[in-house]
């Protein structure tokens, strides 16, 4: 009788799977802990459900409400994180490893929730960039918009980060309004299954927005179309195979890959053994070798060291590695756990053998290596292994072979140009680190590394106090590298959301463009009423609602008073002779005076629904304002964003951006900007 739980797929709103298929074993002691399920998944049904129910429920929301949902999901996962830690322990992960996966995953939801709230509009369309006049009068203009793709995102993930790997892709695709189907790496899919169960149990997931595949993807890729996206994380070999799936090629299905990467860390020649940076370098290399037992796509595989410092670095690395306790993570003091499976253990052993044809072993490979813990000898442990490649210019070896475990290779270099050349021999990597004390050296090395790496991490004693480390992809920074690393891009703040949106150029009159984008385009139709726009509540304001103010002639007294008030006695405002010699040939008003005077023209001073002005965007002083010039302002409601927030006093409020144009007596633009305000919503106490 089968005593082990059978994992289930979550397809078309149902948990599927009652019959056990393949056993999944504990990485710690080799005992079976779960089974995959034997039932075949109907991918036609799964895709239909995503395209119908999934899209409908996601597009009934908007960027702002999906951002709020991500935050709530993150909170729910954190509240239930201990259940995930308990399951994650089977994968051989230490508490610290699981923290990166579980809390790092929830943290990514929080990060995207906050990015969405701050950077995305209400609605399901993002106007992108400036609208460009396309004719002499501005009656015909063009710009770009981004809209949710009407397809499904299929995420094929690696085994090493079963929670983070899912959530770092789910967060941006969810925010974009696209449903997804997630297929985790089988060996640790029990952790992903547990996370998806929690997300579903939370009651927060819109129907059809997330489906889970335990096991293989069957004919899923053959059923995708031009609105769908495949994202892949795993080996370069599988990426190369899946990328050319005939149906994906025939339908131009977007394929984003993040694959093996032979990342490097470079100890710059300026760092001496007594410098703090020398120890930081050693610490970073050991940390990358042992965290997650080296099963990180970003781990340091190649350690580039000036030839005359190889011995000193080796000695310190060995001393640190020797102190690393390897074994069952449940045991106090254990710093490195097991590889995720026996398959991985075999694979790493095999890759180390391949590396040994061009390297020598300087640490690891002990015949008496014995991980700590009961039954650990049956687990998937691997001793930290440091290799030395004395001829790094030779073809292949550590520039080609990735042992996906606690394995790194030291490589001596002659000078910094040689180091840069060796770094590029990885054929494109996710990340490189440069450890240097010299800003000049960093300025020279980093641009050269940047063309081959998705991220460059510069480490010195100053940064070390807060550095998140070589191996940590962050939600706000791009993750993904060129060439061998897969050529894809993930994360990077709002960039990642845009991967799931379709960009289209739109042309038309400013009035049409305003209607389409929901954002006032200059030249478009405006509305003026008896009511000052600042006296309207958030819901009452219409995009294009506008106010043309009275006029004001700028006097010398204005300039003198503003100079005295602000302390700004710049010659252009106060030195008649110097100003006459300047490009303006006269004294001019302070730009900030024009700004202040414009506010004086357009505000409605009494207490009203405008709660605060929290900044300006896109400020330009387009033309000078001289003594005797007469200015006038036009204020137009440009953009409204409902973030579902309240003021500190509990008033529901929304963000309103106002387009401001200040003109002179000839109608010429002198200042142009957007004002950002918080406007009270209709409700109690208005």
The residues that are catalytic are 258, 297
Sheet with 385-388, side-by-side order of all strands: 360-363, 385-388, 407-413, 302-306, 264-267, 429-435, 453-459
The strand ranges marked E within 558-664 are 610-621, 630-646, 652-663
Are 400 and 262 in contact by the 8 Å Cβ rule? The answer is yes
Question: What is the smallest separation between the CB atom of 233 and ligand NDP, expressed in angstroms?
Answer: 5
Question: What is the smallest separation between the CB atom of 83 and ligand NDP, expressed in angstroms?
Answer: 23
Nearer to ligand NDP by C-beta: 400 or 421?
Answer: 400
Question: What is the smallest separation between the CB atom of 455 and ligand NDP, expressed in angstroms?
Answer: 14
Question: What is the smallest separation between the CB atom of 258 and ligand NDP, expressed in angstroms?
Answer: 5
Q: What is the largest CA-CA distance in the chain?
A: 99
The residue at minimum Cβ distance from ligand NDP is: 234
Closest CA to 451 of 418, 474, 428: 428
Question: What is the smallest separation between the CB atom of 69 and ligand NDP, expressed in angstroms?
Answer: 26
| DSSP-derived pairing of the beta strands 153-156 and 180-183 | parallel
C-alpha torsion sign, points 473, 477, 480, 481: negative
Cα–Cα distance between 390 and 399 in angstroms, integer?
A: 13
Question: What is the smallest separation between the CB atom of 151 and ligand NDP, expressed in angstroms?
Answer: 18
Nearer to ligand NDP by C-beta: 43 or 278?
Answer: 43
Positions that interact with ligand NDP (CB under 6 A): 156-160, 183, 185-186, 216-217, 233-235, 238, 242, 258-261, 297, 347, 402, 404
Nearer to ligand NDP by C-beta: 258 or 383?
Answer: 258
Query: Three-state DSSP class for 46?
Result: helix
The residues near 296 (Cβ < 8 Å, ≥ 6 apart) are 160, 288, 471
Nearer to ligand NDP by C-beta: 170 or 534?
Answer: 170
Are 138 and 199 in contact by the 8 Å Cβ rule? The answer is no
Looking at beta carbons, which pairs linking 277-280 to residues 24 or more positions away fall under 8 Å?
Answer: 277/435, 277/436, 277/437, 277/459, 277/460, 277/461, 278/312, 278/313, 278/316, 279/316, 280/435, 280/459, 280/460, 280/461, 280/464
DSSP class of residue 234? S
Question: What is the smallest separation between the CB atom of 468 and ligand NDP, expressed in angstroms?
Answer: 18
Point out which residues pair with 674 in neighbouring strands: 617, 659
Nearer to ligand NDP by C-beta: 87 or 572?
Answer: 87
Tokens of 225: 């179309």
Nearer to ligand NDP by C-beta: 64 or 261?
Answer: 261
The residues near 597 (Cβ < 8 Å, ≥ 6 apart) are 552, 554, 558, 631
How many DSSP H helices and E strands does the chain contain? 22, 26
Nearer to ligand NDP by C-beta: 169 or 639?
Answer: 169
Q: What is the 3-state secondary structure (H, E, C) of 99-122?
A: HHHHHHHHHHHHHHHHHHHHHCCC
The strand ranges marked E within 288-330 are 302-306
Nearer to ligand NDP by C-beta: 216 or 325?
Answer: 216
Question: What is the smallest separation between the CB atom of 163 and ligand NDP, expressed in angstroms?
Answer: 14
Nearer to ligand NDP by C-beta: 73 or 259?
Answer: 259
Query: Three-state DSSP class for 431?
Result: strand
Cα–Cα distance between 9 and 638 in angstroms, integer?
A: 46
Question: What is the smallest separation between the CB atom of 299 and ligand NDP, expressed in angstroms?
Answer: 10
- Helix (H) / strand (E) element for 594: namely helix 591-602
C-alpha torsion sign, points 470, 473, 478, 480: positive
Nearer to ligand NDP by C-beta: 182 or 420?
Answer: 182
Are 119 and 182 in contact by the 8 Å Cβ rule? The answer is no
Cα 650-651-656 angle, rounded to 5 deg: 135
Question: What is the smallest separation between the CB atom of 182 and ligand NDP, expressed in angstroms?
Answer: 10
DSSP class of residue 53? I
């Amino acid at each position: 009788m089968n005593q082990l739980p059978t994992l289930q797929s979550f397809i078309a709103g149902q948990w599927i799977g009652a019959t056990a298929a393949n056993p999944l074993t504990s990485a710690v002691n080799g005992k079976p802990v779960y089974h995959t399920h034997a039932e075949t998944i109907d991918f036609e049904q799964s895709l239909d459900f995503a395209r119908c129910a999934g899209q409908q429920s996601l597009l009934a929301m908007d960027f702002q409400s999906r951002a709020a949902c991500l935050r709530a999901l993150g909170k729910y996962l954190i509240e239930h994180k201990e259940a995930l830690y308990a399951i994650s322990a089977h994968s051989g992960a230490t508490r610290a490893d699981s923290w990166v996966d579980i809390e790092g995953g929830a943290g990514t939801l929080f990060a995207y929730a906050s990015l969405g709230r701050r950077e995305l509009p209400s609605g399901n369309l993002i106007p992108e960039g400036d609208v460009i006049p396309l004719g002499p009068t501005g009656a015909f203009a063009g710009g770009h918009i981004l809209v949710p793709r009407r397809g499904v995102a299929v995420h094929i993930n690696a085994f090493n980060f079963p929670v983070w790997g899912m959530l770092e892709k789910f967060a941006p695709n969810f925010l974009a309004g696209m449903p997804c189907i997630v297929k985790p790496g089988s060996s640790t899919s029990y952790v992903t299954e547990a996370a998806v169960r929690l997300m579903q149990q939370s009651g927060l997931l819109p129907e059809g927005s997330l489906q889970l595949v335990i096991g293989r993807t069957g004919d899923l890729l053959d059923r995708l179309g031009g609105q769908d996206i495949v994202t892949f994380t795993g080996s370069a070999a599988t990426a190369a195979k899946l990328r050319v799936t005939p149906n994906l090629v025939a339908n131009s299905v977007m394929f984003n890959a993040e694959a093996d990467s032979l990342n490097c860390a470079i100890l710059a020649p300026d760092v001496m053994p007594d410098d703090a940076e020398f120890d930081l370098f050693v610490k970073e290399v050991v940390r990358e070798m042992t965290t997650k037992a080296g099963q990180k796509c970003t781990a340091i595989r190649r350690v580039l060291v000036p030839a005359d410092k190889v011995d000193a670095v080796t000695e310190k690395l060995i001393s640190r590695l020797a102190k690393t306790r390897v074994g069952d993570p449940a045991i106090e003091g254990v710093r490195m756990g097991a590889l995720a499976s026996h398959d991985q253990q075999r694979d790493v052993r095999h890759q180390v053998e391949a590396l040994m044809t061009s390297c020598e072993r300087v640490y690891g490979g002990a015949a008496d290596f014995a991980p700590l813990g009961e039954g650990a000898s049956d687990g998937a442990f691997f001793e930290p292994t440091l290799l030395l490649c004395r001829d790094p210019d030779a073809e292949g070896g550590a520039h080609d072979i990735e042992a996906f475990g606690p394995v790194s290779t030291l490589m001596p270099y002659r000078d910094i140009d040689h180091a840069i050349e060796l770094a590029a021999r990885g054929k494109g990597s996710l990340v490189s680190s440069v450890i240097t004390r010299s800003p000049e050296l960093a300025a020279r090395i980093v641009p050269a590394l940047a063309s081959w790496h998705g991220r460059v991490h510069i480490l010195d004693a100053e940064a070390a106090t807060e550095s998140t480390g070589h191996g940590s992809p962050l939600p706000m920074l791009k993750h993904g590298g060129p060439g061998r690393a897969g050529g894809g891009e993930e994360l990077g703040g709002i960039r990642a959301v845009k991967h799931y949106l379709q960009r289209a150029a739109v042309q038309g009159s400013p009035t049409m463009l305003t209607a389409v984008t929901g954002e006032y385009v200059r030249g478009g139709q405006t509305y003026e009423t008896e009511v000052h726009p600042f006296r309207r509540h958030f819901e009452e304001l219409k995009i294009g609602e506008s106010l043309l103010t009275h006029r004001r002639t700028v006097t010398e007294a204005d300039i003198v008073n503003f100079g005295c008030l602000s302390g700004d006695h710049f010659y252009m405002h106060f030195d008649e002779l110097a100003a006459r010699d300047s490009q303006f040939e006269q004294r001019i008003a302070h730009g900030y005076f024009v700004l202040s005077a414009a506010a004086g023209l357009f505000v409605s001073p009494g207490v009203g629904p405008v709660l605060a002005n929290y900044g300006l965007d896109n400020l330009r002083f387009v033309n000078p304002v001289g003594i005797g010039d007469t200015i006038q302002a036009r204020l137009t409601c440009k953009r409204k964003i409902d973030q579902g927030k309240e003021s500190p006093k509990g008033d529901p409020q929304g963000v309103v951006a106002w387009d401001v144009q200040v003109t002179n007596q000839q109608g010429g633009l002198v200042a142009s900007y957007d004002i950002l305000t918080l406007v009270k919503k209709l409700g109690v106490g208005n």
